Amino acid sequence: MSQPSSTPVSTTPAPYDFHTVEPRWQAAWDEAGIFTVPDVPPAGQPKYYVLEMFPYPSGQLHMGHVRNYALGDVIARYKRARGYCVLHPMGWDAFGLPAENAARERGVHPREWTLANIAAMRTTLQRLGFSLNWDREIATCLPDYYGKQQQLFLDFLGAGLVERRESWVNWDPVDQTVLANEQVVDGKGWRSGAPIEKKQLSQWFFKITAFADDLLGGLDSLERWPERVRTMQERWIGRSEGAKVIFNLHQPPAGLDTDLNAVEVFTTRPDTLFGMSFLAIAPDHPLAAWVAARNPQAAEFVAECRRLGTSVEAVETAEKRGFDTGLRVNHPFLDQSFPIWIANFVLMDYGTGALFGCPSGDQRDLDFAHKYTLPVVPVVLPPGKAEADFAITTSAFTGDGSMINSGFLDGLSTQDARREAIARLEAMGVGQGVVNWRLRDWGISRQRYWGCPIPIIHCTECGPQPVPADQLPVELPEDVTFDKPGNPLDHHPSWKHTTCPCCGKPATRETDTFDTFVDSSWYFARFTAPHAATPTVHDAADGWLAVDQYIGGIEHAILHLLYARFFTRAMRKTGNLDVSEPFAGLFTQGMVSHESYKDSAGNWLYPEEVEHTAQGVIKRGTTEPVTVGRVEKMSKSKRNTVAPVAIIERFGADTARWFVLSDSPPERDMEWTESGVAGAARFAQRLFRAVCAIAETTPATAAAPTQDNPASPQADTLRRTTHRTIAAVTEALEGFAINVAVARLHELTSALIDAEKQADTAGMDFARRECARALCLLCAPMMPHLAEEIFSRLNPADGLAAQQPWPQAEADLLAATSVTIAVQIMGKLRGTVEAEPDEEAATVLARAESEPNVARLLEGKRIVKRVHVPNRIVNFVTAG
RNA sequence: GCGAACUUGGCGGAAUGGUAGACGCAGGAGACUUAAAAUCUCCAGCCCAUAGGGCGUGCGGGUUCGAGUCCCGCAGUUCGCACCA
């Protein structure tokens, strides 16, 4: 980027050289230590905790990160200027499968791969000049962090929040590992392509359901969360009121286990019990297993259901199918029995894995009844219908009404019948009113190496035992191999062999590691005391938490945020901290998108491989035409990515930051364009020139206007523009409307440049300096390096821009000296008139009425009403 | 199927119920230059056109002196959840 020096142009000042300027100010901030904060927020200063979701160290920062962290940095720098003590830390969500895949594919150890990626990404973040407190950096893959996580696990275990139980998992028989639902594609493992089996495994669970009520109730207090995220969590938790009903088997077959003598059912509609025509159980229900063990056809049906199990399409398209077990249950209220079917639409993990079918009141039950010609008994009469001409044909009636064909419930409203039925069930001892939750406990066992070891020792005599606290952390062994499928920890020759802490006999370590969502469930708390010997320190955690502003992608709206809310409660219960909600404010930013390109052979092309010319888009260096595809989220597979490092090299960090903040509101997706970033770079140069010109041509000692020495109208106008912009930018930043703040700063820059061209008038030097200073400080959250550079040139003795207080708008300069009033006739704009601020209605109306065009159009009309909105508008309502 | 959000120029978008289209991108004209780049100035919703007028914020209604904004209905797009008993 060096300029040729052979042809000096005297009138053109040296352009802003970000290459030398940016590192200089980064060093200055570093030296001043202004982003470092104490573990306990200082008394007498308000605290503010800004946190962006920490990245997975994939190796390269992408534009989505830049946008996320630029947004957070604007908030952090702004709040700092407003006098807050700001905690703004950064770390790495460093465990996960990609590291193991790299190990398998390239033979790099996951640890080396991860640490190298962290180093590279840290460098990029630092080049972007984010105001981060780097002393607090943490990486979840280091024993210092995950050892404390093991401690938390043991705390939770002691508090009864951890359980070990059998659960169904997606098992990849080739890779010998458990897969998450989203890793199963069309019933096959995403990596091995092998058909996935459903298998029961012993797994560790966090009892998140223990907090279901509190997690739901707590949502109300999260006023600074997007409504839709709260709604998503609410539905995920899924509270529903109903009843559990026990159906005893009618003539139970010989040899049936006694605990299978009755089937427990959950229903939200106990009022419709008289409409029952069958009972359906999940294919995984214990009774189904008992039947399958004795009936090959049943076994075949169950196996088939299991095969179709998880895939989303399978669920969508699968027709309702069932298998009649031949067993029957007695109805609690009627002297009748009904058949038990195994049905493919009954889920084992919702409710009790069994339901009673009331075809007249549930569409799915009706479809099922039609398919297998089961009876349909209407029990709810819709309001306004007569029983005689009401029949259920193709659609069930799910609404409220009055009860019919329902014995002692007849005539009651749906609501009353529900209460009455529950009361009767409870009196008979065959059921009770219950609240059911959709939320399930969180299975945290993963058969993988690159994760936090679960600190448990299995002893054949004593059962699973917690690793004693003084033996923590349980560290991952370094010497592992990835040459065979399955969990390397399990294959390790010696690692798992140890002794039982209880009886001292040989025992084996748990070889499963934690789900990586565990790692990110408490990092925000660890940041408050990242080097402490305990997971958290009360004064630090309670002092800094909750996070005042959390920023990240909407993709974490449910799982991550729910898990973090669970952890916070669990940590409170175990005495690790004393807050209930981790994130007081949440902002979900949009994605960064880009055009996609294909060459004539249909291969995706990177943006730097194509060239936009007047004749169209071509492949760079050729004449080959390029097809421009949709604008979509940047992704490696579409090759529509732009690397932040390349942009920083070409345009500088400030330009990259400014552009990602400029055009689109932060919550929406933004499109990265070459011309857009070039425009941002242009603005940076323009601002630099404008402020440098002020610094060089106006004396720093320029006096403020006084009563005796008033400013000229031009200077006064500039001052008013400055102060109104201060107010507007402040308001915009408070409301996350960063794009609007950027627009106002463009305007103020133009105003400053325009003022330069005007003849010098009284007070103009002061007005210019005041404007330039404000401009520096208002731009600083977005373009911190450039702001420092121009601030230092303008005010060499004032220290760092990053340490200046936020500019204050002077109240008496917020109003303009005159206002333009729109004049309407019957709501249509017919002209404008000038008025003094807050001028009397009478004089404004008179002037408006005599405005030539208005007067012309009012001629011959009778004004029936004159509307005057001060400083804004006048409207004449006419008749005739 | 259920729920939510969104719909404004060529594009991204702005607008406490009060001059719709700020600001930016792309575009046009001009200045400077031997030329280009850079920079600067001006133009720019559509239609008729002379001041000026008509029509314009997905579509149809409503409330109001006045609606992009509030209310009702419809359409489209996007997202989330989805056999939840």
Q: DSSP string spanning A513-535?
A: EE-HHHHTTSHHHHTTSTT-SSS
Which range, of A5-9, A173-177, A377-381, A756-760, averages the lowest pLDDT? A5-9
The two three-digit tokens of residue A493, written as one number: 């020759």
In this prediction, residue A227 has a pLDDT band, given cuts at 50, 70 and 90, of: confident
Through-space separation of residue A731 CA and nucleotide B18 C1' in angstroms: 21
Instruction: Report the pLDDT value the prediction gives residue A587, as an integer from 0 to 100.
Output: 93
Per-residue pLDDT tens digits for A837-846? 889 999 999 9
pLDDT-derived band of residue A166, with 50, 70 and 90 as boundaries? confident
Are A288 and A342 a contacting pair, CB within 8 Å? yes
- Strand B nucleotides, any atom under 7 Å to a protein CB: 3-5, 11-16, 18-20, 22-26, 38-41, 52-55, 65-67, 79-85
Instruction: Classify residue A82 by burial, with Cβ atoms within 10 Å: 0-12, 13-18, 19+.
Output: middle
Q: Which nucleotide is nearest to A732 (CA to C1')?
A: B14
Q: Angle at Cα A291 formed by Cα A286 and Cα A292, nearest 5°?
A: 95
**Other CB atoms within 10 A of residue A466 CB:** 20
Interatomic distance A877 CA / B65 C1' (Å): 6
The answer on pLDDT for A4 being more than 50 is: no
Q: What is the mean pLDDT of residues A518-539?
A: 97
Q: What is the pTM of this model?
A: 0.92
Contacts of A763 (CB under 8 A, 6+ apart): A704, A705, A709, A710, A711, A712, A715, A716, A719
DSSP class of residue A669 equals -
CA of A368 to C1' of B77 (A): 35
A655 CA to B8 C1' in angstroms comes to 28
Nearest residue for B4, CA–C1':
A228
- CA separation for the pair A487, A492 (Å, rounded): 9
Round to a whole number and report the distance in Å from the CA of A552 to the C1' of B68.
30
User: What is the structure's pLDDT at A299?
Assistant: 93
Kindly state the percentage of chain A with pLDDT values over 90.
Answer: 64
CA separation for the pair A360, A268 (Å, rounded): 15
Give the nearest nucleotide to A754, CA to C1': B40
CB < 7 A to strand B: residues 615-654, chain A: none
Q: Report CA(A72)–C1'(B56) in Å, whole number.
A: 39
Q: Is the CB of A227 under 7 A from strand B?
A: yes
- Predicted pLDDT of residue A356: 94
> Is the model's pLDDT at A179 over the cut of 80?
no
Measured CA A873 to C1' B49 distance, in angstroms: 28
Task: State pLDDT tens for residues A285-344.
Answer: 999 999 999 999 999 998 888 776 544 444 455 678 899 999 999 999 999 999 999 998
Q: Residue A37 carries which side chain, given as an amino acid letter?
A: V
Proximity of residue A753 CB to strand B below 7 A? yes
pLDDT at A720 over 90: yes
Residue A706's pLDDT is 85
Least confident of A157-161, A351-355, A549-553, A616-620: A616-620
* A226: CB within 7 A of chain B nucleic strand: no
pLDDT digits (tens, 9 = 90+) for A530-587: 999 999 999 999 999 999 999 998 888 888 999 999 999 999 999 999 999 999 999 9
Q: Does A180 contact strand B, using a CB cutoff of 7 Å?
A: no
Q: What angle do CA A398, A399, A402 make, to 5 degrees?
A: 110
Helix, strand or coil, per DSSP, at residue A834: strand
- Is the Cβ–Cβ distance between A317 and A327 less than 8 Å? no
Tell me the average pLDDT across A757-767.
83
Which strand (E) or helix (H) includes residue A823? strand A819-825
Model confidence at A690: pLDDT above 70? yes
| CA pair distance A260, A356, nearest whole angstrom | 16
* Lookup: tokens for A819: 């206002």
Indicate if CB(A754) is under 7 A from strand B: yes
Nearest nucleotide, CA A874 to C1': B18
Query: Separation of CA A647 and C1' B31 in angstroms?
Result: 33
- Asked if residue A381 lies in contact with residue A401, where contact means CB atoms within 8 angstroms, the answer is yes
CA→C1' distance for A595 and B57 (Å): 27
Residue A827 (CA) to nucleotide B60 (C1'), in angstroms, measures: 22
Structure tokens that stand for A445 in this block: 């066992």
Angle, helices A18-32 vs A110-127, to 10°: value is 100
Rounded to whole angstroms, the Cα distance separating A418 from A770 reads 72
Query: Is A867 (CB) below 7 Å from strand B?
Result: yes
CA of A228 to C1' of B1 (A): 20
Using CA atoms, how far apart are residues A529 and A138, in angstroms rounded to an integer?
A: 10
For the record, the structure tokens of A554 come out as 């909407």
* Nearest nucleotide by C1' position to the A353 CA atom: B85
Q: For every residue of A357-382, which 3-state class applies, written as one string? A: ECHHHCHHHHHHHHHCCCCCCCCEEC
Omega before A546 within 30 of 0, i.e. cis: yes
Q: Is the CB of A240 under 7 A from strand B?
A: yes
CA nearest to nucleotide B67 C1': residue: A827
A675 closest-nt by C1' vs CA = B25
Angstrom distance, A869 CA to B64 C1': 15
Chain A span 810-849 residues with beta carbon within 7 Å of strand B: 820, 822, 824, 826-830, 832
Would you state the pLDDT for residue A13?
A: 61
Establish whether the CB of A658 is closer than 7 Å to any nucleic acid atom in strand B. no
Alpha carbon distance A244, A616 (integer Å): 68
Query: What's the Å distance between residue A384 CA and nucleotide B45 C1'?
Result: 54
Question: Strand B within 7 Å of which CB atoms in A 672-711?
Answer: 673, 675-676, 678-679, 682-683, 685-686
What is the distance in angstroms measured between the alpha-carbon CA of A828 and the sugar C1' of B46?
18
Q: Name the CA dihedral angle for A739, A740, A743, A748, rounded to a multiple of 10 degrees.
A: -130
Mean pLDDT of chain A: 90
Looking at residue A539, what is its pLDDT? 96
A505: pLDDT strictly greater than 60: yes
The per-residue pLDDT for A756 is 81
- Nucleic strand B contact set for A 324-363 (CB, < 7 Å): 344-348, 350-356, 362
A623 pLDDT more than 90: no
Task: Provide CB contacts within 8 A for A524, sequence distance 6+.
Answer: A51, A545, A547, A550, A564, A582, A583
Distance (Å) from CA A873 to C1' B53? 21
Nucleotide with C1' nearest the A683 CA: B24
Q: How far is the CA of A516 from the C1' of B36 (A)?
A: 56
Residue A267 approaches strand B within 7 Å at CB: yes
Q: Which residues of A329-364 are buried (b: 16+ CB within 10 A; e: fewer)?
A: bbbbbeeebbbbbbbbbbebebbbbbbbbbbbbbeb
Q: Is the pLDDT of residue A758 over 90?
A: no
Answer whether residue A778 shows pLDDT above 90.
yes
Any strand B atom closer than 7 Å to A434 CB: no
- Exposure of A198 in the CB half-sphere (CA atoms within 13 A): 16
Spanning CA of A737 to C1' of B22, the rounded length in angstroms is 14
Short-list A244, A274, A288, A550, CA closest to A410: A274
Question: Measured between alpha carbons, how far is residue A417 from residues A389, A424, A479 in Å?
Answer: 22, 10, 66
Which residues in window 727-746 of A are less than 7 A from strand B by Cβ? 737, 739-740, 742-743, 746
Q: Where are the beta strands (DSSP E) in A256-387?
A: 262-267, 278-281, 322-330, 337-343, 354-357, 380-381
How far apart are alpha carbons A865 and A875 in whole angstroms?
8
pLDDT exceeding 70 applies to what percent of chain A?
96
Checking each nucleotide's C1' against the CA of A867, the nearest proves to be B65
A864 touches strand B (CB under 7 A): no
Taking 80 as the threshold, does the pLDDT of residue A818 lie above it? yes
User: What does the radius of gyration of chain A's CA atoms come to, in whole angstroms?
Assistant: 35
- Distance, CA of A735 to C1' of B66, in Å: 28
Residue (of A603, A602, A585, A502) closest to A545 by Cα position: A585
Q: Indicate if CB(A872) is under 7 A from strand B.
A: yes
- The amino acid present at A838, given as its one-letter code, is D
Residue A249 has pLDDT above 90, yes or no: yes
Q: Is A10 exposed, middle or buried (0-12, 13-18, 19+ CB in 10 A)?
A: exposed
Residues 550-589 of chain A within 7 A of strand B, judged by CB, are 554, 557-558
Highest mean pLDDT of the ranges A148-157, A219-228, A355-364: A148-157
* 3-class secondary-structure state, position A616: strand
Q: Are strands A828-835 and A862-869 parallel, antiparallel or unpaired?
A: unpaired
Task: Please tell me the distance from the alpha carbon of residue A163 to that of residue A464, in angstroms, as a whole number.
Answer: 11
Average pLDDT over residues A794-816: 93
**Residue A180: both structure tokens together:** 């998450």
A875: the nucleotide nearest its CA (via C1') is B65
Q: Could you report the per-residue pLDDT of A727-750, keeping only the tens digit for each?
A: 999 999 999 999 999 999 999 999
**Average pLDDT for residues A202-211, to the nearest whole number?**
92
